Structure formats: structure tokens, C-alpha cells
Chains A and B, each alone.
Chain A
Amino acid sequence: MSEPLRILVVEDEALILMQIEMMLEEAGHRVVGTAVTAREAIALIPETRPELVLIDLRLGDGSSGIDVAHAVRDLGGITAAFMTANARAIPEDMEGATAVIAKPFSDTVLGASLAYLKDCVRRPPPGAEVPSGMRVAPNWLASFAEMRA
């Protein structure tokens, strides 16, 4: 694997957070920070300079992952993806995020999703098909198609 992705994980359930961290590290990526609330995540972004932010929808203190997605979109230059068991609650345009990964996910699904997102970050457009269990925002799909053309 080439240079590992710098990833910020935003997830309010400590055990799930720990599990995702383990999965990411085993897949050869680098978790540069973890946050359990939207406020914590937004504060950590400039400090940790992630390339990819993985965001749970329901966060601690009743905050929402959508706010984190907005902050990422406003900063620009960083890729965001939701991870949620309730993918239907994510608006169609995904609020600036690139994709939604459906929970629960296996190692294989997470691996394929991360490979796809790594292409999005490092050398868009991604070469692979969108992995099953993952949905990509329509505006991103359109811009990938434009790049390929």
C-alpha cells in the first residue's frame, strides 16, 4: 500500500470507534484523530489536517454529523464520508460529503470503500466501481464522469 491516508474518525460510540480505528489501522491507514461530538470534530480538523473524515450521523451531546460535513465542505480540499446504519436519513446531496457507507460493515466492505475513497482523495476519478454497501453523492459521480470524459 502506498502512503497511508490520514483519517479523522467521528463516532460517538466508543467501542464502535475503537473497532473502526482497528480496522483502519489494519488496512494500513493512519487515524490522525478521533472525535465523539460535532464541536470536537470541527476543532480537530485544522489541527490534525486529515485527508478523509469519516462521520457517524448521530453524535455525542445530541449533535449531528451533518454539521461536521458542512464544516468540511466550507474548509474545502478534504473528503468526507458518512458511516451510518440509517443511510436514508442522509439528504440526497449528502451535504457536501462524497459518500455514505452503510453500517454495519465488514472488513471487506470497509476495505473496498476506503480504496475507492483513497482514489477520490489521491488520484480522482476513482477507477473501481462503487463498492456494494456504499452510495456516492450525485454531484461527485457527475464530476468523476466529467474527469473521465
Chain B
Amino acid sequence: MEQPDAWHQTDRLDAEQGKGDPFAAAVRATRMAMIITNPRLHDNPIVFANDAFLRMSGYDRSEVLGRNCRFLQGEHTDRGSVALIREAVEARTDIAIDVLNYQKDGTPFWNALYLSPVVNEAGEVLFFFASQLDVTDRIDAHLRVQQEKDHFEAEVARRTRDLTEALATQTMLVHEVDHRVKNNLQMIAALLSMQTRAITDPAARTAMEAMLTRVEALGTVHRRLYQSNNVERFDVAEFARDLATDLVRGSGTDRIRLHLDLEAVEIPVSKAPPVALMMNELITNALKHAFPDDRAGRLSVTVAPDDTYFTIRIADDGVGMPVQVMEHRSFGKRLIGTLCRQLSASIAWQANDPGTVVNVRLPREMAGSLEAS
């Protein structure tokens, strides 16, 4: 039942806003739920509620008039939102906020609340005016979109994880292949080494030993590949360190000091074997010719990036290469020439005074390859 003074309250409203104001009639009749509260009374009670508000909340007018609005709140109403509304009331400012409210029968609904103070000419707050709109459908749609988005993101995360695992498996398989290739090369090296022991002819022995270092250089390539995290790129500098150290150690003298000046240069894996073989030829050449009769000396190996190219520099301070040797078309020299052609590399042999210096300049990517930058 409606309290008798309910109309009186609205009459007063009419009185203050001006008699016969068509706006008051509109507020009563609109489909937008509206209430007015009086902050000058204890606990800021509702002093007016239109029919739309009663329909939306499911209460009778007598049940809402004289009460603070907090009866609309319930179990899942966000405390933070309630605090914001309270702060706005205390600060006498307006606020627009979506808040979860409950109908009389307990049905929750999303309420798009707009609350604003009504101030008289003296600047006093006479009333708070609140309009409410049931936006449950909009919020539900929003939550549904959010759920779909969450689901989609979870799916993307799952596929990314699958792909990451697939990539890890692939990397492991490639590493396994490199490991096996390295082991096979090591077996070939062992066979060559054992066979060489049985050879008495010095020329044949020298040739076999040269073959042995070539096989070992390729073995070092595959060892580096299976120890690397990147199965597509090959670091020339790290390889040069391993190769030069192994070769100087294997040269059988402690009188040659190795100097390394290495900057990381990554090249496609497919280029690694020819680069490795060429470096092997250049370093073994220097070790073989520059320091005869147990001569002491220094071998320096440089790897440096140079724009889209990189350079490999092998320098010794040995006896220097006689012109005859430089012009001699040995198998080793032919091999170097062939590898340079494959790699589109340019090579220069110069006197180092003392010694010899070899400069090789190579493009980092394959000529005409997709990777070329």
C-alpha cells in the first residue's frame, strides 16, 4: 500500500520546482526508473520513486519510501562500486556507474545508475536525483564477449605452447642428427688415422694427414651445431676458436702462440661446411709452411663482420710464403679456390713482413637467397 504522504512529498517537489511543471508529470510517467532522496533527512531516505522504479525493483511504493537505497544491494554487489557511490554522495557530486542490484524476489540485475545532487540558488543540496536503467542484457553480452575472449586467448596460448614444444622437438631431432653426423665423421677420422699409421711413404702420409684434418674440421662444425640453440645459424667466430685451438694443439709444437680476435658472425647453417673447410685449409697451410724447423711464432686468426659481408684473416709471422709456393697449384690451393667460388668470396694473399697474411671477404647470406637482406 502506498503511504498517504507519498503524494505529499511529490507535491512539495512540485511546489519547489514550480507548480504545474510538466516535467514533474513526465518524471512520474517515464519508463526510465527514477528516485529522489533527501540528504537533509536522517540516512538520506527515498522521498520519491516513480512507477518505472517500482516495476524495475519489484517493491511497492510504501516499501521504498523513507528507506535508504542500500536495500537494493545484495550478496554479489561490488563493495568498491558501493564505496564510490557513497563518496559521490558525501562529496555532493554526480556519478554514473554500473552496479549489481537485487529485486525484491532476489533476482539480480545490472543497474546503470546515474546520481546527481539537486542544488537550490543558495547552493544547498536539496535532493539527490537518481535514474536507473536495467542493463543486465548489455552487461551479460559484455561478459559473454569477455568469456569468449578469455577462451580464445587460452586457445592461442595452448597452440603457442604446442608449437613451442614442436619446435623444441624439432631442434632436438636436428641436434641428434648433427650428433650422429659428428660421430660418423669421428669414425672416418679414426679410420684415416689408423690407416695412416701403416703408410711409410711420406708423401702419401702427408696427404692422408691433410684429409684427416679436413674430416675433423667438418666434425667440429657438427659438434658446434648440436651444442648450439639455433639450428639455422652458425657462429663463425666460435667455430674459428675451436678449429684454430685444435689445429695449433695438433701441430705438435708448443712454440706457436695463437692469437684470436673474434667477433660474432652468424651465417646460414648451409654455408658452414665450405667456410669451415676453407678456414681449415688456410690455418693448416700457415702451420705447415710458416714455421719450418720448429721455428717459434705467432698465428693470428681474425673474424669480423663487415656490413653484409664478413672477413676472415689468417696472419703468421713465419718465414713468408715463397712466390713458387704461392703460385703452385696444389690440391689445397685448388680446394680453396673452389670453396671461394661457392661462397662468392674474394681472397688475397699478401706478404706480412715477416710472414704471410690471407684476407678472405665473404657475403654473410647466400647469393640470391631469401635470407639476403
Contacts and interface: CB of A to CB of B under 8 A. Distances in A.
Q: Are A and B co-members of a single complex?
A: yes
Interface of A: 13, 15-16, 18-19, 22, 26, 85, 102, 104-109, 131-133
Contact of B249 (A19, A22, A26, A106): A106
Contacts of A105: 249-250
Contacts of A13: 183, 186-187, 190
Given A85-B223, A104-B216, A132 B190 contact: no
Interface of B: 183, 186-187, 189-191, 193-194, 197, 216, 219, 223, 246, 248-254
A135 to B, nearest CB: 12
A16 B187 contact: yes
B250 A19 contact: no
Contact of A104 (B246, B248, B252): B246
Contact of B187 (A15, A22, A102): A15
A108 B252 contact: yes
Nearest to A19: B190
A22 B250 contact: no
A16 B250 contact: no
A108 B219 CA distance: 20
Nearest to A104: B216
Nearest to B246: A104
A72 B187 CA distance: 28
Given A13-B186, A108-B253, A109-B249, 11 more contacts: A15-B187, A19-B190, A19-B193, A19-B194, A22-B197, A26-B197, A104-B219, A108-B250, A109-B250, A132-B248, A132-B254
A58 B8 CA distance: 98
A104 B187 contact: no
A18 B190 CA distance: 8
A104 B193 CA distance: 11
9 contacts: A15-B187, A15-B194, A16-B186, A16-B187, A18-B194, A22-B197, A105-B249, A108-B253, A132-B249
